[in-house]
Amino acid sequence: MRAVTWQGKRDVRVETVPDPKIEQATDAVIKVTSTGLCGSDLHLYEVLTPFMTPGDILGHEPMGIVEEAGSEVPGLKPGDRVVVPFQIACGHCWMCASGLPTQCETTQVREEGMGAALFGYSKLYGSVPGGQAEYLRVPQAQFGPIKVPEGPPDDRFLYLSDVLPTAWQAVRYADVPPGGSVAVLGLGPIGDMCCRIALHQGAAQVVGVDLVPERLQRARERGVEVFDLNGFDSHDGLVDAVKDRTSGRGPDAVIDAVGTEAHGSPLARTQQQAAGLLPKAWAARLHQKAGTDRLAALYLAIDLVRRGGTVSLSGVYGGAADPLPMMTLFDRQIQLRMGQANVRRWVDDILPLLTDEDPLGVDGFATHHVPLADAPHAYKMFQQKQDGAVKVVMRP
Ligand SMILES: NC(=O)c1ccc[n+]([C@@H]2O[C@H](COP(=O)([O-])OP(=O)(O)OC[C@H]3O[C@@H](n4cnc5c(N)ncnc54)[C@H](O)[C@@H]3O)[C@@H](O)[C@H]2O)c1
Ligand SMILES: [Zn+2]
Ligand SMILES: [Zn+2]
């Protein structure tokens, strides 16, 4: 089959690889019909290079048709239409039973000290072949895949794999009080969807911050009050402007939907580049043990949120020794919540919104649909935010 493989920093290629097969009784194999490109893939493209191996199959936002299901997957049969969550979880361990499938005790990648295995997400998360491919082996298929109805186009359901539950959890964790305000940093697919969900759930005021004109415009069109980072000389200028618009105190909650690739953290950039040039083992260690994050967005979130408010982190961070302003966090009494999205935890809440009325606008959410063969171009376009790319969906 054809699959998108990682070959090196900023180098992905579509190659022919062996077809996946059922390996365990709890596996299924699906024929992928649509598969998303995510901001998280961009970390692998560049910053998380030390954890990647040439040939790794990328992708964690797939949906498709069941080809074959193992003997311990009674709920699926060939021909079923399914969306596959980005994390692999068993559904029956203590963590899964507690609504935390990202921490699944059956699939945790203990060698690396990490939580549940993820599709297509480096050695850190189990080196599981990903879903930007014609076929995908789905481990723990007795729990993961979400059956969806025939009829509507793939885009109606595809975002259940990641974008929707991630944004849903970010908004839930933000805990915006009724009639309250929330600021969303980053208006990529995740931040954009956070704004839509917050508005849908009745936040009185949703503020969005980014620096890409098309992304700001997209959010503005849906009723978000947007701030262009480029319109301010300093961090403080932006903080003051947002506070002015939110009762002088700052928003009740701030969602960081940027993560480790934030613009405006020049020191970290040099460290990251150094990590990319060091021999692999050293670079991986530097990345885990030293401060290599670009924390500009997190610092902004901490300064923006009102005293006693909540910062909800959905952007991915990866360093271990980055300085956090503990005195400010403590004095301002800020709650900080974060983590990978617990996909199955939120699916039943989200499914009723994926109707023809389409309140969250999923049908028109993708800006680009491309064949799998165009993956190298799609990665570059998405990373460089060219051609209005916000969400790219590949069709194998
Ligand atoms: N928690 C989860 O389960 C989960 C799931 C999916 C994605 N993510 C993470 O969420 C983040 C966003 O993902 P995405 O797909 O929307 O990616 P993206 O890269 O398209 O979006 C990031 C956006 O942030 C903007 N930005 C950069 N620096 C900024 C700054 N200093 N202030 C404000 N905005 C800034 C960029 O212009 C971009 O529009 C990534 O870190 C991704 O890894 C987490
Ligand atoms: Zn994703
Ligand atoms: Zn589990």
Q: What are the tens digits of pLDDT across the range 42-73?
A: 999 987 888 999 999 999 999 999 999 999 99
CB 124, CB 51: distance < 8 Å: yes
Q: Is 40 close to ligand 1, i.e. is its CB under 6 Å away?
A: yes
Whole-number pLDDT of residue 18: 98
Whole-number pLDDT of residue 267: 47
Nearest bound ligand to CA 139? 3
Distance CA 56, CA 241 (A): 44
Minimal CA–CA distance to 88: which of 138, 36, 157? 138
The burial of 7, by beta-carbon neighbours within 10 Å (0-12 exposed, 13-18 middle, 19 or more buried), is given as middle
Q: Is 195 close to ligand 1, i.e. is its CB under 6 Å away?
A: no
Minimal CA–CA distance to 125: which of 70, 43, 18? 43
Q: What are the tens digits of pLDDT across the range 71-86?
A: 999 999 999 999 999 9
H and E: helices and strands count for the chain: 13, 15
What's the predicted TM-score (pTM) here?
A: 0.94
Contacts of 130 (CB under 8 A, 6+ apart): 4, 56, 57, 58, 59, 60, 62, 119, 120, 121, 136
Whole-number pLDDT of residue 384: 94
The residue nearest atom 20 of ligand 1, judged by CA position, is: 188
The two three-digit tokens of residue 155, written as one number: 């885009």
- Cα-based distances in Å from 52 to 9, 111, 162, 319, 359: 9, 15, 21, 16, 38
For residue 163, the ligand 1 atom closest to its alpha carbon is 6
Ligand 3 centroid–CA 107 distance in Å is: 7
Nearest bound ligand to CA 316? 1
Whole-number pLDDT of residue 266: 46
Residue of 37, 40, 215, 391 to test ligand 1 pocket, by largest number of atoms within 8 Å of CB: 40
Whole-number pLDDT of residue 269: 53
Ranges of residues in the chain with a pLDDT under 70 are 262-293, 320-321
Ligand 3 centroid–CA 93 distance in Å is: 4
Ligand 2 centroid–CA 132 distance in Å is: 12
